[in-house]
Amino acid sequence: MSDLSILFPGQGSQEPGMGRDLAEKWSAAMDMWKFAEAESGLPLREIYWEGDAADMAKTDALQPGLTVVNLSIWSYLKESLKPAATAGHSLGEFASLGASGVLSIEDTIKAVSLRGKLMSQVANEDHGMAAVLKMDQAAVEEAVEFGASETGKELRVANYNSPAQYVISGEKAAIEAAGTVIKEKKGRAIPLPVSGAFHSPLIQEAADEFAAYLGKLDWNGPAFPVYFNVTAAAQSNPEEIKKIMSSQMTSSVRWIEIVTNQYAAGARNFLELGPKGVLTKLLVANLKGKEYEGKGIGNLEQADAFK
């Protein structure tokens, strides 16, 4: 049995020119870009191949744009791959659904185009997110509990990325209160350039609309196990997968558990398909002391060298 896990990155992995070399060589990839542009109503190729960092970071464009890059690389390489499992970080989870056949590629792109629009509409100047570094999980959760109780405002751990990297999400007053505890404990809280409190109940209205849309799609059993952000476990029942994904937008990303659970199930080779290699770097902390191989493929040259 293969010991290969395919990982797909999420927001924050974008870079200028992403996906261009593959699309200009391979018409199937270019077709994905054109389809995503039609669904999103945005000039995605202009934004990511010729635009600036501010435009590339906008979630309504980034969600379909990055998903196209992730799935283009997967589609280009899939005949050379025999994955035992897959997982995607936040937005990247949708690429896992497309790669494993839970959703068609077309429905995946439609879904993330809507998800991006809905999440761009929840902008609130009183809401935000912050990365927390140099603190362990218990200390971060203690700071979050203090921030919420001290202010009476919503705050939670949105991303459990690695034992030394977390993201908190909620109302800014609560984030600031938590920041006092973080500073006292010699940690660092770095505000993130986002417009809302993603992966928190504060975007429940958008999540409800998105869940209604997901209910209309055709859901299939995966060709190989998909590990989910909400549960950190694999699920093969299409109806259960639909339920899980309906709550994904407001639930925490349990990335540490996903990686360690995949390792416990036999994964030893981790291949990240997408720009920058962010998830490959996180493996160092999440699998510290364990034997594994981690590699990222983010462009045509790397993909051709892998084939």
Question: Per DSSP, which regions of 122-221 are E strands?
Answer: 127-133, 155-162, 165-171, 188-191
In angstroms, the CA 198 to CA 41 distance is 23
Q: Which of 5, 40, 72, 90 is catalytic?
A: 90
* Residue tagged active-site, from 75, 199, 200, 252: 199
CA 274 to each of CA 14, 218, 290: distance values in angstroms, whole numbers, following the listed order: 9, 26, 24
Instruction: Classify the C-alpha dihedral 127-128-134-135 as positive or negative.
Output: positive
Quick check: is 90 catalytic?
yes
User: E-strand spans in 92-180?
Assistant: 127-133, 155-162, 165-171
Question: What phi and psi values does residue 234 have, to the nearest 5 degrees?
Answer: -80, 150
Catalytic-residue membership of 199: yes
10 Å CB burial of residue 257 (0-12, 13-18, 19+) is: middle
Residue partners of 222: CB distance under 8 A and separation at least 6: 97, 100, 101, 102, 236, 241
Is residue 232 within 8 Å of residue 279, measured between CB atoms?
A: no
Q: State how far the Cα of 76 lies from the Cα of 79, in Å rounded to an integer.
A: 8
DSSP conformation class of 234: B
Which residues are part of the catalytic machinery?
Answer: 90, 199
